Amino acid sequence: MVGDRDRDLIPAQSLGIKTVLIGEESTEFKSDVVAKSLADAFHFMAKKLT
């Protein structure tokens, strides 16, 4: 699941789905990956799938 806010990702993480936070790392929520931009998130996911 990709989102730019904690509230986007908390439900996904509670279901066991890996999360990618776009932007700066949150102090209250620990996502699996933090990406600076959507393009960076795409490149990370593309590498993981190949």
pLDDT single digits (tens) 2-32: 999 989 899 999 999 999 999 988 778 899 9
Q: Looking at the 3D structure of the chain, how many domains does it have?
A: 1
**CB 2, CB 22: distance < 8 Å:** yes
Show the domain range for 16. Answer: 2-49
Residue 47 has pLDDT above 90, yes or no: no
Q: What backbone phi and psi angles, to 5 degrees, belong to 4? A: -110, 5
Kindly report the pTM of this predicted structure: 0.81
Do 26 and 6 form a contact (C-beta atoms < 8 A)?
yes
Strand 33-35 with 20-22, pairing = parallel
Distance CA 19, CA 2 (A): 6
| Tokens found for residue 28 | 């209250």
Number of neighbouring beta carbons within 10 Å of residue 30: 13
